[in-house]
């Protein structure tokens, strides 16, 4: 699949940088009036209010940076960037944020491909923000980095095609047992129940999206650079397949690395301050987490749930069944419900 994702050379670079630096008293703002930036700024400011004790503040300042892909509420912009906990010279806490901003009105690759193709971009941006915070440098280098990245959009066509090939190969060589093992390492979530929730909870969102509060999936990632991104895009591929028949569910992604574990916070819907506060180490209240093991969950009452559960349970026991084939099954289930 070829993606025509290049921008015309005369289109101004779209990016933003804003937040706090330890050796400055003012607020860093570069292109921070962009609608996507102001929207993220508002949610960040609300989430910072949850740092209500010295212990919370210490944990906030010790947290590693978070990579994100966030869609604006109006769907017009996609932000790819990094949030790094920081503060100003007076000790007032606010993260340092930098992101590329992409218009969503044109053709876009699948979000899993987009994230994988930007793995080096995320790593480079984390390094830029870390240097700015640790060495009290100005944001010129970070700005130049984002300008260079923005010339061709989020990735070059070649990068996207390579990422698609790598992802396709990874999915075809990976058995679902790998994902089940990740879930067992971080709790007792059942893979089949999780996959069914991808399909049927999304149907519930499609029907009642304006009446449901923002919730997230917390999907475990392995330790180690590279491995965590591959696992993240595997989860995203499955969720995209499970929502193949629907185009009106925005997806927000946060790769959160906490000292005890790393995970993908996959938010089908709007990003709230409670969900974003995970980036500061604030425990997430259970009401904001999609409980896939809840036997009384309303999406389990769908008339096709039992049939889908039977199909999945049979396929998941096949020793030769790949995640790529699982994506096909999930997409078929999704389209049959629309």
| Cβ–Cβ under 8 Å, residues 222 and 228 | yes
For residue 266, the model assigns a pLDDT of 97
| Cβ–Cβ under 8 Å, residues 100 and 16 | no
Q: Look at the block and give the residue holding tokens 């892909």.
A: 69
pLDDT tens digits, 151-193 = 755 567 888 999 999 999 999 999 999 999 999 998 889 999 9
pLDDT tens digits, 223-238 = 877 899 999 999 999 9
Band of pLDDT at residue 8, cut at 50, 70 and 90: very low
Q: What is the mean pLDDT of the chain?
A: 89
Q: Compute φ and ψ for 103, nearest 5 degrees.
A: -70, 140
For residue 3, the model assigns a pLDDT of 41
Q: For residue 104, is pLDDT > 90? A: no
Over residues 271-295, the mean pLDDT reads 93
pLDDT tens digits, 114-129 = 999 999 999 999 999 9
Higher pLDDT, residue 59 or 2:
59
| Kind and range of the H or E run holding 189 | none
User: What pTM value is reported for the model?
Assistant: 0.92
Over residues 34-49, the mean pLDDT reads 96
Question: Token pair for residue 325?
Answer: 């084939």
pLDDT tens digits, 67-90 = 999 999 888 899 999 999 999 999
CA–CA distance from 264 to each of 5, 218, 243 (Å)?
A: 26, 6, 18
What are the start-end ranges of the E strands in 131-284?
Answer: 217-221, 251-257, 262-268
**H runs (alpha helix) in 186-304:** 191-208, 227-242, 273-276
For residue 6, the model assigns a pLDDT of 44
For residue 15, the model assigns a pLDDT of 94
Q: For residue 95, is pLDDT > 50? A: yes
Rounded (to 5) percent helix, strand, coil in the chain: 45, 15, 35
**Domain spans of the chain, in order of start:** 15-150+158-337
pLDDT tens digits, 247-282 = 767 899 999 998 888 999 999 988 999 999 999 999
Percent of the chain residues past pLDDT 90, beyond the cut: 69
């Amino acid at each position: 699949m070829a993606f025509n994702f290049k921008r015309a050379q005369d289109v101004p670079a779209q990016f933003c940088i804003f937040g706090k630096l330890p050796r400055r008293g003012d607020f860093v703002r570069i292109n921070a009036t962009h609608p996507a930036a102001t929207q993220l700024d508002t949610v960040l400011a609300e989430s910072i209010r949850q740092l209500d004790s010295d212990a919370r503040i210490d944990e906030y300042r010790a947290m590693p940076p978070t990579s994100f892909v966030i869609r604006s509420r109006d769907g017009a912009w996609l932000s790819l960037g990094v949030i790094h906990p920081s503060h100003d010279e007076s000790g007032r806490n606010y993260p340092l944020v930098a992101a590329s901003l992409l218009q969503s009105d044109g053709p876009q690759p699948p979000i899993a491909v987009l994230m994988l193709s930007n793995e080096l971009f995320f790593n480079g941006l984390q390094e830029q923000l870390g240097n700015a915070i640790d060495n009290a440098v100005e944001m010129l280098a970070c700005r130049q980095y984002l300008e260079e990245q923005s010339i061709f959009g989020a990735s070059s066509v070649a990068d996207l095609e390579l990422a698609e090939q790598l992802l396709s190969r990874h999915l075809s060589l990976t058995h679902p047992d790998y994902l089940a093992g990740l879930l067992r390492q971080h709790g007792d979530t059942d893979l089949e129940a999780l996959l069914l929730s991808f399909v049927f909870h999304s149907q519930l969102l499609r029907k009642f999206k304006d009446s449901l509060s923002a919730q997230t999936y917390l999907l475990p990632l392995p330790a180690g650079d590279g491995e965590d991104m591959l696992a993240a895009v595997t989860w995203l591929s499955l969720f995209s397949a499970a929502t193949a028949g629907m185009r009106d569910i925005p997806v927000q992604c946060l790769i959160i690395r906490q000292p005890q574990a790393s995970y993908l916070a996959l938010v089908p819907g709007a990003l709230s301050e409670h969900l974003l506060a995970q980036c500061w180490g604030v425990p997430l209240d259970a009401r904001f987490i999609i409980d896939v093991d809840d036997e009384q969950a309303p999406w389990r009452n769908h008339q096709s749930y039992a049939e889908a559960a039977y199909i999945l349970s049979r396929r998941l026991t096949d020793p030769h069944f790949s995640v790529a084939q699982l994506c096909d099954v999930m997409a078929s289930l999704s389209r049959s419900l629309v």
